[in-house]
Amino acid sequence: MTHDQDDMTAGRFAAATLLTPKALRVYAERGLLRPSRVDVENGYRYYSPSQVATGWLIGLLRSADLSLDDVEAIVAAASVDEQGAIDALDAVIEASNRRNDACRAVLARARLHLRKEATVTTVHAGFETDRPVLSVMRRVAPHELDHVICDAVSALRGVAAEAGVAEAGDPFGIFHAPVTDDSDGPLEIVLPVEGLIDAGADVRSYRLSGGAVALRSAEGTETDFPAVLALYDEVHSWITDAGRTPVGPPREIWHTSPKADGGLRLTVAWPFAERGDARTGETVRTAGV
């Protein structure tokens, strides 16, 4: 068998691209940067000099803390055409900028929280009546929220249509436990409807209790994770600063789809009771969309 005399050993290739042998093994296993050939007798890996540019691209992207999934998308696009790769990179940059803005917002809220400073707020009180709903429980990570919410709401609408009951309001989520990078909920995805039905499967049909709620509307970058956490802290502070008591898991009402062209519009709704109210509940810190 003949081989290209210019083929580079894994060691030479690592030195030429500043990629570690461990990184090369990981990239090879994922199919991101496979050796041009592997010696069948000794298992030695060899790379083509033409792969050096790809190695450098991967190294640059990884040094900026891009995920392997993002790197794979950009490298795959680069194998087709330059503009496609640039478009993929620009999309990642835009997402990174939004994430940075969201982090700054939640850290600014954390500063106010530490200082116990009062802030101008748009939180206001509302009242929800008892109402029939359809719901499903989902375990979900923050990066999966948009996809899971859209699929679940679509499924609930299908169940309602099949049962012949009309929708009676915007869908919303009840965060029974945090949805963060460290916790996956559960999140109850809920669709208000005109009546109770025999739902079956994993869909629950029941009457959700009403009561007083603190409401805070948001749109744009305020709805990004983790910036949305600042809204929950703001609402919780509004409740407790007024001498009231949060009484149960908070909710997030989705006025538009997370995938809508105009972006997500939502309202954080946290049930509360006046001091001395017989109702009690566990305060749950949550993540949003």
At 71 the pLDDT is: 94
At 276 the pLDDT is: 59
Render each residue's pLDDT in the chain as its tens digit; 289 residues.
Answer: 445 668 999 999 999 999 999 999 999 999 999 999 999 889 899 999 999 999 999 999 999 889 899 999 999 999 899 999 999 999 999 888 888 887 887 788 788 778 776 665 789 999 999 999 999 999 998 889 999 999 999 999 999 999 999 999 999 999 999 888 788 889 999 999 999 999 877 999 999 999 999 999 999 888 988 888 889 988 998 999 889 999 989 999 999 988 888 889 999 999 999 875 544 443 333 333 2
Q: How many residues does the chain have?
A: 289
d(CA 176, CA 178): 7
Q: What is the value of pTM for the model shown?
A: 0.67
Fold matches, 8-80 and 124-274: no
| Domain boundaries along the sequence of the chain | 8-80, 124-274
CATH code, residues 124-274:
3.20.80.10
Q: Is 283 exposed, middle or buried (0-12, 13-18, 19+ CB in 10 A)?
A: middle
Q: Which two tokens stand for residue 18?
A: 């500043």
At 118 the pLDDT is: 60
At 283 the pLDDT is: 34
CB 155 within 8 Å of CB 165: no
Task: Write out the H or E segment, with its range, that includes residue 267.
Answer: strand 265-274
At 36 the pLDDT is: 94
CATH T-level assignment (fold) for domain 8-80 = Multidrug-efflux Transporter Regulator; Chain: A; Domain 2 (1.10.1660)
Sign of CA dihedral 142, 178, 197, 127: negative
Contacts 24+ apart (CB under 8 A), 109-113: 109/229, 109/230, 109/233, 109/234, 113/233, 113/237
CB 10 within 8 Å of CB 45: yes
